[in-house]
Structures are given as C-alpha cells and as structure tokens.
Amino acid sequence: MPSWGDIVEVLLLQNYNTRLVVLSTTLLGIAAGLVGSFLLLRKRSLMGDALSHATLPGVTIAFAIMVALGGDGKSLPGLLLGATISGIAGIATMLLIRNTTRLRDDVAMGFVLSVFFGIGVAALAMVSRVPGGNAAGLESFIYGKTASMIQSDFIIIAAVAGIASLVSLALLKEFLLLCFDDGFASSQGWPTLWLDIALLALVTAVTVIGLQAVGLILVIAFLITPPTAARFWTNRLLPMLLLSAIIGGVSGWLGASISALTPKLPAGAVIVLVAAVVFLISMLFAPARGVFPRIARHSHLRRKVDRQHLLRAAYEILESLAGDDEVRNTPFPIEALQLKRAWSQRQLKRVLRIARREDHLEPAGSGFLRLSEPGFGEAARITRNHRLWERYLIKYADIAPSHVDRDADLVEHILGAELVSELEADLETEIDERELTVPVPASPHLIQTEPPAEA
C-alpha cells in the first residue's frame, strides 16, 4: 500500500515524471471528451476504433523508414506522423467505400479495422527483423506506454489536445447541425462533406496522440466513454460537452495518479477503468436518464395512473347509484371497484392504500367506502378530463364510442389545464349548454343516436 507521503506527492504533482504523465492524460481526456461527443452524436462510435487500429501500419512503416535513413526509428514525432498518415488513409478508405458503394458505415469501418490492423501486425513482425534496427517497444503503441513520457511527448500532446479542443469549440454550431440533421445542413448550403472531414481529422488527431497514453486498443474507450457517461446527465449539447470534457479530464488525472501509486498497474488500462466506473455511476444514478431515477419516475407515473383510474371508477359508480345532488356523500361497495377496473385483490389493496394515504377515500362501514371532499373534487376533475378526451377522439379520430374508453385511458393522464381548456374550446359545439353548467359532462357511451325515420 502507498504511504500518505506518496499519495500527497502524487496529488500535488511533486514528482517530475508524474507531473508530465498526469497533465498529459488530463489534457488528452479533455480533448477526447469534446471530440468524442460529436462522434457519439454522429452515431459513429466505431469510427474511433477503426481509426485507432488503422494507425498501426503507419507506426511500423515510419519506424522502418527512419531506420533506413540512418536513425534509430524511435523518434516519437516521426512515429506519430506515420500513424497520422495511416489513419488518414483508413478514413479515406472508409469514405470511399461509403460514398461509392451501397455498403453501410459499419461494413466500411469493420473492413478498415480488420485489414489495416492485420497489415500493421504483419509489418510489425517484419520490422522486428530489420538489420540495424531495434523494434523493441513498438508493441507499446498497442497498449500504451504512459509511464515513459518525456517533456517532448507532453508538449506534443498538450499542443494537439489544445488545438483539437479549440477547433471543436470554434466549429460548435456547424458540428451541431452536422450531427443532428446533415440532410438539412446540406440543403441549406453547408459544406457537410468538409465538415465531416474536419470532424474525422479531429478524431484522427486525438487518436494519434492517445496512442502514447492508452494505446490503440483502449483509445476508443477514452473517446466514447466520457461522452456516453455525460449523455446520461443531460439532454442538452453544451452541458453534455462540458460534462464530457470534465469526465475525460478527471478520468485521465485519476487513472494516471492511481497508476503512479501502484506501479504494476498500466496507466492506460486504469484510465479506462476509471472512466468505466464514472459511466456505471452515471448509468445507474444520473437524474436525466439514469436507471434508478427512471424506475422511480415510472413507479410514480404508475401510482398516478392507478389513483386516477380508482377515482374515476368511484365517480362512475356513484353516478350509477345516486342522482346528481346525492353523488358527493353516497357510499359505495369496495367490490364494485374491483369489478369496474378488473383489478386483482392485491392490486386493489395497493391502490386503496395509496388513496387512503392521500386522503381521497374514507371508510363508510363494513365493505363500503366514501370519497372525501378533496377526493370527490379530484375524481370529478379526472372524469371530466377523460370524457372531454373521449369526445375529442370520437370527433377527430373517428373512434367508435364503444371503444373510445380504452384509447382515452392511454393518453388522458398527461392532460394539463391548458390542454383541457383547448379541448373545451374545441368541443364547445359538441357539449350542450346544460353540460357546460355541470362539473362533469355526460359520458359519450350513454349518448344514443335516434333511429332513422321509417319511409
């Protein structure tokens, strides 16, 4: 276990090598979060994976060329240049397949991923036998070699990450239009092809500098996991971009720090695991789209629907038992509710328990209930809204009165005061003056049409 002194040293970035690694991965995470958000919204998450695998041939070929020119082949700028050229070739291949054939994007990306990575593995085996060259260490581009970063690596990563972030923000409006409706953007005269190429260029840049930190296999997780986690927290683009950049930066910082405290853990893998933990927390607990909040909202909606069904059933039972002047205080049997809604005994007990807790029902003797004062008002309001919606569906959706009750049940629970007012205004010619003066209009099920006169 690391000592408190080691933890303080890592958190305060007192060690030179740790400072380079943590700052590099943090900046890379911020850039990956921003660029990856557009990639996710563009529905091209696999693009980063295909691109990262397409960089391996460029790394190995660049090594062979530098050795042939008399160098040692380990110059990072030269290797990254080769990776960039190879990545651009992979992107060009994908665009060529997509634009000149009927094959879909996933086919093009799968082809580039497998073929280019196969070429890279074969080239890596070949350059390992190049006379006068030492290819040892090139495999680290597959898994990353964060701990071996030097100042020149940090400068390259910081420069490219900063430029990628600034370009993403500068083209925010254009990328937003491209991601959500590229057909509309094209019809308005926007250069969608060049915007697509610019986005892919940013992805290429982040992927190439990410090879040094997390490797070509794990860089896709660094591009996709932060924006995916941020998507659970918000439905708006700007907050999503901000959260994605924060999650990417925190994942890089925390993952590199944990790796520095436990030297046997590779930094790239730890960074991805930290991002995965943030993703899991977001998926479960995020208020906007998290699993548990969604379950809570669904449970609340179900209780609301059951309560409204109970109160409407009680009001309709009272209508059948008493006249208009006696409806309010008339008790009704519990069994009538079960027959009205076809609930099981367990369901009925649960709904009645909720209604009593909300002070909508009162006991009225053995086996009987009575609507309370607030319960009667709520029941009348719910029944009125239901019948207004029934009449709207009968008039405009041409649904038979004998079937409209089921259809109205599906949508009536979202009616607000404004929508009810619109329904009343639209249907005022359908509701006679007597019905406008009573709280609840008559049910359309009871409306009888006069038989046609005999000839």
Among 38-47, 154-163, 273-282, 301-310, top mean pLDDT goes to 273-282
Distance CA 227, CA 251 (A): 12
**CATH architecture of the domain with range 296-444:** Orthogonal Bundle (1.10)
Domain 4-286 has CATH 1.10.630.10: no
Q: Tens digits of per-residue pLDDT, 4-29?
A: 777 777 777 777 778 888 888 899 89
The mean pLDDT value of the chain amounts to 79
Which residues 6+ apart lie within 8 Å of 10 measured at CB?
A: 2, 18, 22, 257, 260, 261
Q: Tens digits of per-residue pLDDT, 157-202?
A: 889 899 999 999 898 888 888 888 778 788 878 888 888 888 888 8
pLDDT tier at 41, thresholds 50, 70, 90:
confident
Question: Which sequence spans correspond to the domains of the chain?
Answer: 4-286, 296-444
**In this structure, which long-range contacts are made by residues 163-169, counting pairs with CB atoms below 8 Å and at least 24 apart in sequence?**
163/205, 164/31, 164/34, 164/35, 164/202, 164/205, 164/206, 165/30, 165/31, 165/34, 165/245, 167/198, 167/202, 168/31, 168/34, 168/35, 168/38, 168/202, 168/241, 169/34
pLDDT at residue 413, as a whole number: 64
Q: Tens digits of per-residue pLDDT, 76-91?
A: 778 888 888 888 888 8
pLDDT at residue 452, as a whole number: 44
- Res. 455: pLDDT tops 50: no
Lowest mean pLDDT among 269-273, 323-327, 328-332: 323-327
Over residues 370-384, mean pLDDT: 83
Please tell me which residue, 67 or 88, carries the higher pLDDT value. 88
Among 61-65, 230-234, 401-405, top mean pLDDT goes to 230-234
- Predicted TM-score (pTM) of the model is 0.75
Please tell me which residue, 424 or 33, carries the higher pLDDT value. 33
